[in-house]
Structure 1
Amino acid sequence: MELQFDKKGNIVRLKDMCEHVIGSGVLYYEEYLGGRLYALTAAHNLYEDGDLFGVLRKSIYVEVYSYTHQCYEPITIRNLSDSVACSPKKDADFAIIVLNKVDVDSINPNLSTIQIVNNCAETKSMLLLGFPKANNHKEVLSSNVTRIEERIGEQQFLLNMEQGIANFYVEGYSGGGIFVENRNK
C-alpha cells in the first residue's frame, strides 16, 4: 500500500544563515494555538555540532512552500533560543520551533491538518518525508518505509526503506516526519 500526502504543504526545509540545508521539519497547527504555529524537527538540526548538542545555532531559516510562487520562501528566526523548545538528547532528539501563524499564512495559508500520534503499533506501512541529500536537498522526497522491529521498553522502532538504499540517500530527512494513514479520516 502506498500512502498519499501533500508533499509540500506541511514539510519545511531548515537552513543555516549561510543557506546550507540542516534538516527538515513538519508544520503543525491547531485552532487552540491561536496566533502560533509549530515547526516540529529533530533537535540535532538546530545545533552547530549536531548530536553533540553543545552549541545551539543563533539563527536559522525555516522555508515554507508557497503554492502561489511555486517555491520555498524563508521565514527568518533571528534568535533561535527565544523561539525553540528542545530535548537535546540522542534518545529524545526532538525540537519545537514556534512560528507566527501570520508569517506562515503569508506564504502558505492552506496547511493540511495533521494529527500527532504516539502509538502506531498496528501500522506497518509509513511515509517518510523530507529534504534528503540524494536530490541535493532541493525538493521534498517521499519514501515508503515499513516497520521491521519495535524496541521493547523504548519509544523506538526500526524502519526499512523499500528502495533498499544507502545512508547517503536519507541524510537530510532528519526532522521531516513519518506519516501514517488515519483510517478514520
Structure 2
Amino acid sequence: MIEKLDKVISKLSVRLKDVNNGACIGTGVIYYSDELKEKLYVLTASHCLFEDGDKFQNQRVEVEIDFLYKDLTSYKSLKVTINSNLLFKEENKDVAVLVLDKKDVEGILGEIPKVKVVKEKSTYNDFIIKGFSKATQGKELAVLYPKWIQLLDDRFQLELLENYTSYNTMGFSGSGVFIQTGADVFLYGIFTRFRAEEKGKVIYAQFIDIANEFLAKSYLPLIQFNYFASYDLTDDFFKKHIKQSITGLGPRFSEVLNFQLPIAKVFNDIAKDTVFKRQFTAIFDEWITGYGYRKIVNNTHLEQIEVEFEEVKSIVLEWIRALNFSVENKIDIQWLLDRIESINSKVNEKSTELYKLRSEKDSFKSNRSHNYEFPYEAELSRLREIRRYNEDFIFSITKKINIKLSNNPYLIVKGDAGNGKSHLLGDIAQKRVNSNLPTLLLLGQNFHSVNSSYKCNSCYFV
C-alpha cells in the first residue's frame, strides 16, 4: 500500500474502550464532510456499544474513543455519550454512529482527513482493514488484506487470507473496510463479525448506507457517497476540467458575494443536495412540531380537525423517512397540499360556526369584567393557530425551496453581458467538484457552430 494512504487509514481508524476499565472493545472509523460543519461522525459496529454484544440488550451509556495524536505515535482519548437513536439492534444491521464535536477531535488529530464513501465496488476485489486486534492486546493497529466473496443484501462477505484466529480478529469489529484504487482509497463498509477458521475464515461486513436511515430520522446530515468512474471520468478529470473552464472566464468576481445571491440557492434545489434536504426537512419539522403546541384534547368542536391532523402527520412522517432524494426521483407534494387545503376549509367552516354560537350565547353582555373571556375563545384561538401554521407551511414549501425545479432540473439563466452569469456558474461548479461531485462547465466561446440562432454563454451540467 502507498505510504500516504496507509497513514490516512491509520488516522481514520480509532480505538473504542470501556470507560470503566479501559479495555479495548472494538474499532471505529472517522467520517467527516463539509455538510457536518462543526460535528464529526465515528462509524462502528453497533454490537461494540453493548455490554452483551450481539444480544443487543445492555447498551453502554458512554464509550471512550482513542484518536491518533498529531505526532502519529500516541493516542489521546475523548469520552462520548452513546445515542440509542443512532444505532441498530440487530445482527443484519450492525451499524452505529457516534457524534462528536469537530474541534475536540482537531485538537488531537490536527486536520481531519476526509474519506470518500462508495456503495459500489466496481471491478475491485482487494480490500484493506485496520483494527485494534486482540493479537496486539488492542494496543496497536493491525492490518488485513481480505478478498471479495459475495454480496448478502445489506452485507457482504470477504475471505481472510492472514493467519488470524477468531479470537485475534475480535478487536476488528467496527473497523472500516477500504478499497484501494491505485492512488486513492474509498470506504466501502464496516467490519462486523468473523466466521471461525474451521468454517472458512469469512469476514462479514455491513454496507454503510443503512446508517442514513437513523440519521434521517434524527434530522442529522447524511453520509454522502461518491462514485467509481468509467471512461476515465474520475474526480481528477472533473477538477482539471473545471479549473481550465474557470481560467477561461477571465478576472473573477467575489465567490463569497456570488453565494449570497438568491440565484445561487436555486442550484441546491436542482441537485437535491444536502442543503436542499436540510431546508426541506426543516420546513416539515417546524410545521409538525409547532402545529400541536396548543392542541386541545377531548373537545367536541375540534376533535375531528385534530384527529385528521394527527393522521396526516403520521402519514407525512413515514413518507419523509422513505423519501428518495435522488435527482431521478420526483417529489410529489400535491397530495399533501390538497390534504392541508381540506383541513383549512374545515377550520374556516368551524370558525364560522363558533362565531355564530358565540353571538347567540352571550358575546354582547354589557356587564363584562376586565378579564372576561368570550365564549369559544380557546377553540377559535386554536383554529387560528392551525390555519397560520398551515399557511406558513404552504408558503415555505412552495416559495423557500423550488420543488418544481427539483423535479425538472433544467434552468436557463438570462441576463445582459457582464452581469456575472458565467462567474456564478463557475463558482457553483468549483464548489461541487470540491465536494467530489461530477460537474461540467462548457463555455460558449468554445463552441464554433454558426447554425445556432441563440448563443449560450456557458452551460453547466451536474
User: Normalising by the residue count of structure 1, what TM-score does the alignment of the two structures yield?
Assistant: 0.89
Alpha-carbon offset, residue 120 of structure 1: 1.5
Q: Distance in 1 between matches of 2:138 and 2:124?
A: 28
Instruction: Give a deviation string over 1:137-178, Cα, whole Å, max 9, x none.
Output: 111111111012333xx1222211221432122111011110
- The structural deviation recorded for 1:111 is 2.7
**In 2: Cα distance, 1:67 partner to 1:15 partner:** 20
> Is the CA contact (8 Å cut-off) linking 1:44 and 1:93 kept in structure 2?
yes
The match for 2:173 is: 174
How far the C-alpha of 1:110 sits from its partner, in A, is: 2.2
Matched, 1:141 2:113: no
Inter-partner Cα distance in structure 2 for 1:38 and 1:157: 23
Counterpart mapping for 1:26-175 below 5 A: 26-68=29-71, 70-77=73-80, 79-81=81-83, 85-151=86-152, 154-175=153-174
Residue 11 of structure 2 is aligned to residue 12 of structure 1: no
Contact 1:128–1:178 under 8 Å retained in 2:
yes
| Structure whose residues are more often strand by fraction | 1
User: Quick check: 1:37–1:99 contact (8 Å CA) kept in 2?
Assistant: yes
1:17-71: CA deviation from partner (whole Å, max 9, x where unpaired): 1101110000110011010000000000001111111111011101100023721
Q: Is the 8 A contact 2:93 2:154 kept in 1?
A: no
Contact 1:56 1:81 in 2 (8 A): no
What CA RMSD, in Å, does the superposition of the two structures yield over aligned residues? 1.9
- For 1:115, give the aligned amino acid: K
* Separation (CA, whole Å) in 2 of partners of 1:129 and 1:111: 18
> Match for 1:147: what amino acid?
W
Mapped to 2, the partners of 1:155 and 1:58 lie a distance apart of: 27
> In structure 2, the residue corresponding to 1:122 is in which secondary structure?
coil
Structure 2 Cα separation of the partners of residues 16 and 112 of structure 1: 25
Tell me how far apart the structure 2 counterparts of residues 102 and 110 of structure 1 sit (CA, whole Å).
Answer: 10
Structure 2 Cα separation of the partners of residues 97 and 10 of structure 1? 14
Q: Deviations over 1:121-143 (max 9, x none)?
A: 52200001111101111111111
**Which secondary structure state, in structure 1, belongs to the residue aligned with residue 92 of structure 2?**
helix
**Distance across 2 between alignment mates of 1:106 and 1:144:** 31
Gaps of 5+ in 2: 183-233, 236-462
Aligned length: 180
Greater fraction helix: 2
Q: Deviation of residue 94 (structure 1)?
A: 0.2
Deviating above 4 A after TM superposition, structure 1's stretches of 4 or more consecutive aligned residues are 182-185
Contact residue 27 and residue 175 of structure 2 kept, 8 A: yes
Q: CA deviation at 1:182?
A: 4.2
- Cα drift, residue 87 of structure 1: 1.1
Which amino acid in 1 is paired with 2:42?
A
Higher mean alpha-carbon deviation, 4-13 vs 103-112, is at: 4-13
Q: What is the percentage of aligned positions where both structures have the same residue?
A: 27
**In structure 2, C-alpha distance between the alignment counterparts of 1:53 and 1:99, rounded to whole Å:** 23
Residue type of the alignment partner of 1:174: S
5+ residue gaps in structure 1? none
